[in-house]
Amino acid sequence: MINNIMKNPTFQQLFNLAGKRALVTGAGRENGIGAAIAKGLADFGAEIILHDKAFESNRVCEQISAAGGVCTMIEQDFSKAGGGRQLINDVYQQFDKVDIVVLNASYQKVGPFNELTDNDVSQQIAINFQANFELLQAVLPRLKDQGWGRVVNIGSVNQRNPKSIVSAYAASKAATHNLIQSLARDYAPYQVLLNTVAPGLIDTYPENRAGDSQATASWDDYAEQLNWMKRAGQPQEVVGAALYLASPACSFMTGENIFITGGY
């Protein structure tokens, strides 16, 4: 058993990520949850490795660098078999270690249950579950050997309260949290802690409504019905929980789930 808990730390020390390196998957979109988490971890000192299937721009890395952070981009397609394992191989070809892994990459296909095709289902399982399974197989032994690590899985409220229009997505998110729980016990003695943050409705595509008052009104009406706060969350509202779970402050919590839903 490894016990490397700091003695009488300040709260600034507990959240200080200087010297830590964080891999954030699916983080290439400027308005996405992954990008917000990457920027938040960088603000607290972590060096960032951004992953995405294909980067349309380097805007997120530019923002991190402009704020004084360090950022690298790596592409890998999680829809392909072996993509999660290959990402870790690529990362360790460039870097000597990773301390924090944020499993954010996901794909959602909305549609009636009976209209989902085999490909619709297989793509969601591949990206949302299989790639994470492979990635964890490759990275967890390394985190165990170094005696410290944090895995933050970005789940969904749908893993607990599924809707039929996102049936395959909900099932894949529930499966990944189940995986997190099943692994947490084995790695806890090595200070490798695995937890999930499960957001509700988060406004990650505001550009789709830009300049369209009707689309904005329709979105606002939809969001008002989904939670007690009667609005969609913003990506930055997920960052605080992710920061805690990625930091030394999270030293006695593993296999758990934090819902960020606005009340549900």
The burial class, CB within 10 Å (0-12 / 13-18 / 19+), for 207 is exposed
pLDDT at 23 > cutoff 70: yes
* DSSP assignments along 81-103, one per residue: TTHHHHHHHHHHHH-S---EEEE
The pTM is what?
A: 0.94
Per the DSSP assignment, residues forming a β-bridge with 150 are 100, 193
Per residue in 30-56, pLDDT (tens digit) is: 999 999 999 999 999 999 999 999 998
Per residue in 239-261, pLDDT (tens digit) is: 999 999 999 999 999 999 999 99
Task: Return all residues near 66 (Cβ < 8 A) that are at least 6 apart.
Answer: none
Per residue in 121-158, pLDDT (tens digit) is: 999 999 999 999 999 999 999 999 999 999 999 999 99
Work out the pLDDT band at 215, boundaries 50, 70, 90.
Answer: confident
Position 70 scores a pLDDT of: 98
Per residue in 52-104, pLDDT (tens digit) is: 999 988 999 999 999 999 999 999 999 999 999 999 999 999 999 999 999 99
Distance of alpha carbon 26 from the chain centroid: 8
Position 1 scores a pLDDT of: 56
The burial class, CB within 10 Å (0-12 / 13-18 / 19+), for 106 is buried
Spatial separation of the C-alpha atoms in residues 210 and 148, rounded to whole Å: 43
With a pLDDT cut of 90, the percent of the chain lying above it is: 88
**For the residues 161-181, what does the mean pLDDT come to?**
97
**C-beta neighbour count of 30 within 10 angstroms:** 17
Per the DSSP assignment, residues forming a β-bridge with 197 are 154, 258
